[in-house]
Chains A and B, each alone.
Chain A
Amino acid sequence: MPDANEDPVVATGRREAVVVLTLFLIALTYTVGYCAWQGYKRSLDELTFVFGFPDWVFWGVVLPWGVCTIAGWLLSTFYISNTPLEPAAPPPGAATAETPVDG
């Protein structure tokens, strides 16, 4: 259950990660599924070409690649949130190295 006090970066980051990994699974299933179905052991006689690409390359790789590119634009523009990142704390364990003690 989400904690009311949880930082928005944690909550939104987790939600966005789930959406992106789901999209990854869909892309993997479609691309490999379609290419395994249509792209193996084809003779040149039965192969057709779409914009110069063998048909299975166009429908199985080029098209989903285009869809993922558009999905990347849509998600980054409308879904992935902008959250402020706080100023950085000093590096751990080596505080003295950040100040010119001997140099």
Chain B
Amino acid sequence: MADPMIPAGGYSVFTALLIFMIASIGLGIYAQRRIDRSTFLQGYFLGNRALGAWALALTATVQSGGTFMGFPALAYSHGWITSLWIAGYMMVPLTGFAVIGKRMAQLSRRTGAITVPDLIRERYGSPAAGAIASLLIIVFMSCMMVAQFKAGAIVMKLAWPGSDAFAPAAGDVDWAYLTGLAVFAVAVVSYTMVGGFLASVWTDLFQSLMMLVGVMILLLLTVPTVGGLESATREAVAVTDANFASGPGYGTTGRAFLTPGLAVSFFCVWVFAGIGSPASMVRVMAMDSTDVLRKSIVLLALYNCLIYLPLVAICVAGRAIIHHLDKPDEIIPRLALTVTGGLPGGSLVSGLILAAPFGAIMATVSCYLLVISSGLVQDLYLRFLRPHAGMREVRLVTYASMALIGALAIAANVRPVKYLQVLVVLSGTSSAATFVAAAIMMCYWRRATAAGTIAAMLAGSGTMATLFFFGWLQRFAWAAVDAGTGSAFLTSIASALGPDPGIGIADPFRPYYLLGVDPILWGLPISAAAGILVSLCTKPPPEDYVARLFDRTS
């Protein structure tokens, strides 16, 4: 099938986004009423620990704007192998909730902790451990959040009515992008500021359900259009090559997208990112009861079944419908506009589908905004600057911190860093390598010490940073050697690190794949080994202190 004419978004998409933003602000105002009836900090940052099964299931694990925009781009570009790339999500409902969920919720109740650094500090009685955790979380979350602002601004720009939605911006100043950035930032900061944790969770739940509806509609519209999945695969292979239907995946850069070693890595990435993400941990801490956790496992398992593999099927069919895209990131919007073009009310359906990833971005930003703000207010301001601040002051500082974070995110995105995506990948996987071992030790190992936990966090993040740095160094040294400008020192570095193995995503800032696997497979065990060794080499924690957190209370 030849590439069809692809219509632009127009007013329907813009209206859908507008409705979505208004609904989110409405949820924020409603959430604020709930907070006003309770104590401020616990209500604002933890929703009074009353999260139900639907809210926990569909908001606590790793679903972000990136998941719903970046992943379809990969499926469109590389083909069926992305089903293996994302396969770790089959275990995320169980690992995300059943490994530390129950115990995190109990520990946070016993200590009264409302943030992850709070929990670490109280678990060991160590302000240093809490401060280091807080600092690492603020750095990781800030990197991830800034990139999401850019994604939100781009969706707003694409949806702007009266312009060609997919046309590149002309001129030096991209006013459509800047306006999109401003509208997106004001909307998301205001509803998060007003409604806190509950507003963030409810919007997240709302977008998750919208995404489910969008994916199902798109699946029903695209796959039959090309005569079923087998026919779609054959057509897609005809316009690419056989690797589109097998490993290591289709590509035009000469790189092997997913070798078996990277398949092992990514299976672990999704699972451990779900356990170790501070944003996920906070939501698990907020669950109402263990019954909620059990129901959430079932709900999320069903949800993941209906989202990820259908998305791969949609994008394989998308390749058969739209043979070539310069920007694969646009596959979902373009496909939505294409397949709904001839339907009665099709523009509304495409608006609905396009609003879903926008909602995912808003929900992700809102969640990160809260985690960063809680870090600044609870872990730094109240801990070190004004321990005796009253409620009004805490409210003002919280609102001010959110406005400040929003303003900084806008400033960082006016001229966005070209390779911001690398910070997102580095921060996301580093967060898992930093906190998984520390969290398991905190929950289940009585002998774990504050020094051991600090060692686990620093060893995990240090390993990740080192391997990403080596990846950069490898490219830098080989570029110099290939150009004939490399000094003896650079030549020795290039030869020590070896040539680029030609695997993984064609990212200019890819990491160093030691033994052909992703850095997270090194970061996790090194973090665990450091945590165990340093704990065993340091003085055991006082037994009465540990008993308070590990033993029966009566």
Contact = CB atoms under 8 A, between A and B. Distances in A.
B113 A39 contact: no
A37 to B, nearest CB: 9
B260 A44 contact: no
B98 A16 contact: yes
B10 to A, nearest CB: 33
Contact of B550 (A10, A62, A90): A10
A68 B111 contact: no
Nearest to A86: B109
A20 B264 contact: no
A14 B304 CA distance: 25
B29 interface: no
B552 interface: yes
B98 A88 contact: no
Interface in B54-70: none
Contact of B110 (A21, A36, A86, A102): A86
Please name the 3 residue pairs, one residue from A and one from B, whose CB atoms are nearest each other, closest first.
A103-B392, A52-B229, A101-B390
Contacts of A93: 118, 382-383, 387
Interface in B272-330: 289-291, 293-295, 297-298, 301-302, 304-305, 309, 313
Among B94, B260, B551, B552, find the residue whose CB has the most chain A CB atoms closer than 10 A: B94
Contact of B98 (A17, A60, A84, A91): A17
Interface of B: 39-42, 49, 80-81, 83-84, 87-88, 90-91, 93-95, 98-100, 102-103, 105-106, 108-114, 118, 121-122, 223, 228-230, 233-234, 237, 242, 245-248, 260, 263-264, 267-268, 271, 289-291, 293-295, 297-298, 301-302, 304-305, 309, 313, 378, 382-383, 387-395, 440, 443-444, 547, 550-553
Nearest to A33: B260
Nearest to A48: B230
Contacts of B108: 88
Interface in A23-78: 23-24, 27-28, 31-32, 35-36, 39-44, 47, 49, 51-54, 56-57, 60-62, 64-66, 68-69, 71-73, 75-77
Interface of A: 3, 5-10, 12-14, 16-17, 20-21, 23-24, 27-28, 31-32, 35-36, 39-44, 47, 49, 51-54, 56-57, 60-62, 64-66, 68-69, 71-73, 75-77, 80-94, 96-103
B394 A97 contact: yes
Contacts of A73: 297-298, 301
A77 B90 CA distance: 18
17 contacts: A7-B106, A27-B90, A31-B87, A31-B90, A32-B84, A32-B264, A39-B81, A41-B246, A47-B246, A62-B309, A66-B305, A69-B304, A77-B294, A82-B289, A86-B106, A88-B42, A91-B42
B230 A76 contact: no
